[in-house]
Structure 1
Amino acid sequence: MLAQKQTLSVALVTLLVAQLANSKSLAAETSERPHIILVMADDHGYGDTGFTGHPFVQTPHLDAMSKAGVVFNRFYASAPVCSPTRASVMTGRHPFRTNVPNHGHYMRPDEVTIAEALGGAGYVTGHFGKWHIGSVQPDSPTSPGGAGFDEWLSGLNFFDNDPYLSRNGNYEHIEGPGTVITMEATIEFLTKHHAGDRPMFAVTWFPSPHDPQQELPQNVPDAATLYNDQSTKKPGYFREITLLDQQVGRLRQSLRDLGIAENTLLFYCSDNGGLIVESSGGRNKKGSIYEGGLRVPAILEWPARFGHQSIDTPAFAADLYPTLVPIAGAKVPHQPRLDGVDLADVLAGKQTTRPPMGFWHGHTQGQSTYSDRIIRALLEAKQSGRPNPFPERVLKNVQEFPTFGDEGMRGHAAWNAWPWKLHRIQNDNQIKLELYNLETDPMEQTNLVKKHPDRAAQMKTQLEAWQRSVLDSWSGKDYVR
């Protein structure tokens, strides 16, 4: 009897110790919020990394990150072009809701951004690199500062060597590769604030590997001809991928040098599909909402919480906001409708499904934005005392709230209810439907609408209801006025 009690006591103590250990771990997770860094490339396709199987591009640092962290095997941009996905990352909402239907459009100041949410929770916030969802003029509510960033060094669109950028609204001409400059500004921000009493939130949006692809990898022999011997028409694209990979390596090393790597949540992805069809990870490439235009490489590294794992559950850029806001302990009193979902249970292995994801493109034309040309003109006007040459670029149309009739459903929309994906293509009031099973047909080659008419009809109803809700949001119905 005594021996039995002793055995039970040992078991009880072991259980209590385990529970205390778990409690300590959970307490650490809740009492010491992580630093958060979101890194995004511009046009980096799913298959264009070593860890996704590319035959020659060199990405050793992303490969190392993939071995240490969480790899999302089915991660999607929210749109097949840049500005809309960026608006989605900022808000957790489909970009049409935010007034960003295509590249060059401005996100409304009415939106609640992740920088505002985390800033309100005590984070110090910084944006570095490509912005492209608003102005970079001082005091503009559409600038990074207007969107909740305490510090910023930002370009209006992609930039390359020796860019013109805006530092907190002050224009500068900086020598060097734009991707390197972007990372240097990020590391300066982290170094400046890492010993403070506030957690840090940094958004680093590389300008590469977008055309014209004039930047070169650092400290590489014959960098200007790297990949020229490969069977590719775009060696510059792959050179810039290797350059941005080097900058990811610099960032990861800096986190270790600063002693903050363990409790830093670092996330890497691209803003849309790549430029090479053959390695896009699906049908077509950038500009298309077939898989090749949306599927992108994505890795999350947070050593204090996660070891290496691969996740097959689909996710997309709109999920970042609703996932990170609770991690940061932030509260949003008046949260407009979200399209993304909190991935906490997916990351914890408790959930392997998620609600459908909606995509929509081709509704509205994009707007050209020549970053260097515009910021240079702003700088020269300021230096010479001349008036602002681009007053219309402070706000654009963010104070307009359009309404739409039946023609508002135009364009190419898709409803991804994994593994099924329905495409609704409307041109001149003519509607075409395509249905694919992505599990058995990842290249979207065999249209199953006639074989599964009931499923297609049901998904069409869901997609069109979602589209109408998106148009309602675009008209301003979500905002508290």
Structure 2
Amino acid sequence: MTAQKQSLPCTVVAALCLQLVCCLSLQAQSSGRPHIVLVMADDHGYGDTGFTGHPFVQTPHLDAMSKAGVVFDRFYASAPVCSPTRASVMTGRHPFRTNVPNHGHYMRPDETTIAEALGDAGYVTGHFGKWHIGSVQPDSPTSPGGAGFDEWLSGLNFFDNDPYLSRNGNYEHLQGPGSVISMDATIEFLTKHHGGDRPMFSVTWFPSPHDPQQELPQGIPDAATLYNDQPTKKPGYFREITLLDQQVGRLRKTLRDLGIADNTLLFYCSDNGGLIVESSGGRNKKGSIYEGGLRVPAILEWPARYRPRSIQTPAFTADLYPTLVAIAGASVAHQPKLDGIDLADVLSGKQTVRPPMGFWHGHTQGQSTYSDRIIRALLEAKQAGQPNPHPERILKNVEAFPTFGEDGMRGHAAWNAWPWKLHRIQNGERVKFELYNLVDDPMEQTDLSESQQGRVAELKADLEAWQRSVLDSWSGKDYVK
């Protein structure tokens, strides 16, 4: 007896076809190069979001992003202050290697940046917000334009309300909260280019929640007193976190409205630890090599590629460069030594152990940078036809290649070979070591250096070899002459 074929109802066939089209579309999106949007806050501590357990700060958009994306539970800034971490994002290298040992120092034009690498691979590139690793003067090789960004609206350092900024080298005095202005420029860039034939790479570096915290959340009654009734000495800090959260919400909505959310890699983190010790996620806070100065909130959202999950494997901001270079299919002809790694296998779950991460601070003093004051002086001089009042800020010392003697290892360094973290603290000729197990002792309270002398010796050798490598890079030995 021959079995008769049964035909499916038309509605079922249509549904199956639609499902097949959606699957093929998703495969096409995930196999193509994504748009890439990097967002970074200024001084946002690990514990200062709803999704990391803060008791009162309102971060509904970051919380939603955390549920939709990949959350890094152990993500670190490459340095405990702003400029060095920004240099690590741009280059994948420890900031000392790039001539940025502390805040206010300039990154050398000799470095290959992520904007240059992605631009060469066909991306259109934009920077919006705080720069703080170079000049914002026209034609400076240390400006965002000199570092590979096609379009930029940038400040020299943090800024608050009604900031003076540089738009592609043209100085402007804008009105409104600086974080909102930075996101306005980002959204304008994405809207302008999303229908073009080039993928987009956008970097938004918020000026908030850095002191003096004068910006206010938008559309909230009595915003000026928000969190004043909470147990904190810094309600303005938390107000600015809620403001930047609103801007993340605007960004995510824009990506959906433009129809590019599925194949956009959106990444959020902070440039260093926060300003509140109690919620820093570790010992101490911003400015410290202990966990509280380095651990930051971090979320990656790329719906076409990654399902929501949490990652326990440690990562840090220097990993962004090699990860994005690989994703974009970019090629760097003369790549100097990297400190970061490609996180592809970590994100896929294939890799749960990563190479050690090195940190170093306190070697060289920072340099003050008054963004509004400097850009205002540049603007007023230009309007009056006067000479440049700040020619020294075009290059600073990027053409100097220092060498270091016996005191070159000074400062506070650390070697995170998970779960072990060795600290090397040098003041003058005195050197002190501390060892912590971060799984058993995440607050770094119990120094195990005496009971684990063999491990200290092993990690010490690795840390000091890395430090010497960093100093070699700083002196210019990585560059092809």
- TM score, norm. by length of structure 1: 0.95
Aligned to 1:137, what secondary structure does the other structure show? coil
- Show CA shifts across 1:348-391 (max 9, x none): 01010100000000000000000000000000000000000000
- Structure 1 residue 23: deviation in Å? 9.8
Q: Which amino acid in 2 is paired with 1:90? A: M
Secondary structure at the counterpart of residue 142 of structure 2:
coil
Alignment partner of 1:439 is 2:439? yes
How far the C-alpha of 1:29 sits from its partner, in A, is 3.3
**Structure 1 residue 311 and structure 2 residue 311: aligned?**
yes
Aligned residues: 461
1:39 equivalenced with 2:36 (yes/no):
no
Q: In 2, Cα distance between the equivalents of 1:406 and 1:358?
A: 20
Are 2:291 and 1:291 equivalent residues in the alignment?
yes
State the match for 1:222 in structure 2: 222
Aligned equivalents of 2:171 and 2:361: distance in 1? Answer: 33
2:411 aligned partner, one-letter code: G
Shift, 1:85, TM fit: 0.1
Q: CA deviation at 1:410?
A: 0.2
Inter-CA distance 24–178: structure 2 relative to 1 (3 Å threshold): closer
| Structure 1 letter corresponding to 2:431 | I
Query: 1:465 aligns to what?
Result: 465
Counterpart residue number, 2:57: 57
- State the shift of 1:56 in Å: 0.1
Alignment of 1:123-272 (within 5 A): 123-272=123-272
Q: One-letter code of the match for 1:350?
A: K
Q: Secondary structure at the match of 1:84?
A: helix
| Aligned match of 1:29 | 30
Secondary structure at the residue paired with 1:154? strand
Deviation string 1:454-476 (CA, Å, 9 cap, x unpaired) is 00010000000000000000000
Equivalent in the alignment of 1:333? 333
Deviations 1:165-196 (A, max 9, x none): 00000000000000000000000000000000
Matched with 1:110 is 110
Report how far residue 28 of structure 1 moved: 4.5
**Structure 1, residues 372-424: CA drift from partner, whole Å, max 9, x if none?**
00000000000000000000000000000000112100000000000000000
Task: Work out the CA distance in 1 between the residues paired with 2:303 and 2:350.
Answer: 19
For 1:17-56, what per-residue CA distance to the aligned partner results, in whole angstroms no more than 9, with x for missing partners?
xxxx9999766534x2100000000000000000000000
Structure 2 CA distance, aligned partners of 1:306 and 1:448? 38
Q: Secondary structure at the match of 1:326?
A: helix
Query: Could you say which residue in structure 2 is the equivalent of 1:14?
Result: none
**Counterpart of 1:9?**
none
Match of 1:417 in 2: 417
Distance 1:406 1:85 in 2: 26
Matches within 5 A, 1:351-366: 351-366=351-366
How far apart in 2 are the matches of 1:23 and 1:93? 38
- AA partner of residue 253 (structure 2): Q
User: For 2:428 and 2:107, how far apart are their aligned partners in 1?
Assistant: 28
Give the counterpart letter for 2:208 in structure 1: S
Q: Report whether the alignment pairs 1:323 with 2:323.
A: yes
Aligned to 2:19: none
After the TM superposition, which parts of structure 1 deviate over 2 Å for at least 4 consecutive aligned residues?
21-30
Per-residue displacement from partner, 1:126-175 (whole Å, max 9, x unpaired)? 00000000000000000000000000000000000000000000000000
Match of 1:49, SS?
Answer: coil
Aligned to 1:380: 380
Q: Any conservation in 1 of the 2:29–2:263 contact (CA below 8 Å)? A: no
Q: Which amino acid aligns with 1:369?
A: T
Amino acid at match of 2:30: E
- The two structures, once aligned, show a CA RMSD in angstroms of 1.3
| Conserved? CA contact 2:93–2:337, under 8 Å | yes
Q: Which amino acid aligns with 1:43?
A: D
Shift of residue 307 of structure 1?
1.4
Provide the C-alpha distance between the structure 2 equivalents of 1:388 and 1:475, rounded to a whole number of angstroms: 30
Find the counterpart in structure 2 of residue 17 from structure 1: none
In structure 1, distance between residues paired with 2:24 and 2:176: 48
- State the partner residue of 2:273: 273
Equivalent AA in structure 2 for residue 395 of structure 1: L
Question: How many Å separate the matches in 1 of 2:184 and 2:121?
Answer: 26
State percent identity of aligned pairs. 85
Structure 1's 124 and 454: CA in aligned 2 closer, same or farther, altered over 3 A? same
**2:402 aligned residue:** 402
Instruction: State the AA in 1 paired with 2:209.
Output: P
Question: 2:5 — aligned with what?
Answer: none
Shift of residue 306 of structure 1?
A: 0.8
CA distance in 1, matches of 2:80, 2:59: 23
1:433-456 deviations in whole A, cap 9, x for unaligned? 000000000000010011100000
Distance 1:225 1:362 in 2: 37
**CA contact 2:26–2:304 (8 Å) conserved in 1:** no
1:23/1:401 Cα in 2 relative to 1: closer, same or farther (>3 Å)? farther
Q: Distance in 1 between matches of 2:226 and 2:412?
A: 38
Aligned to 1:479: 479
What amino acid does structure 2 have at the position aligned with 1:363? H
Aligned match of 2:100: 100
Corresponding residue SS for 1:456 = helix
2:391 and 2:60 map into 1 onto residues whose CA distance is 44
- Structure 2 counterpart of 1:164, which letter? Y
Distance 1:252 1:25, change over 3 A: closer
Structure 1 gap ranges (5+): 1-20
Residue pair 2:40, 2:206 contacting (<8 A) in 1 also: yes
Partners of 1:289 and 1:140 in 2: how far apart? Answer: 32
**Residue 350 of structure 2 corresponds to which residue in structure 1?**
350
Letter in 2 for 1:197: D
Show CA shifts across 1:237-272 (max 9, x none): 000000000000000000000000000000000000
Residues 434 and 221 of structure 1: CA distance in aligned 2, closer, same or farther (over 3 Å): same
Deviations 1:106-129 (A, max 9, x none): 000000000000000000000000
Q: SS at 1:432's partner residue?
A: strand
Q: Partners of 1:476 and 1:27 in 2: how far apart?
A: 43
**Whole-angstrom distance in 1 between the partners of 2:197 and 2:23:** 26
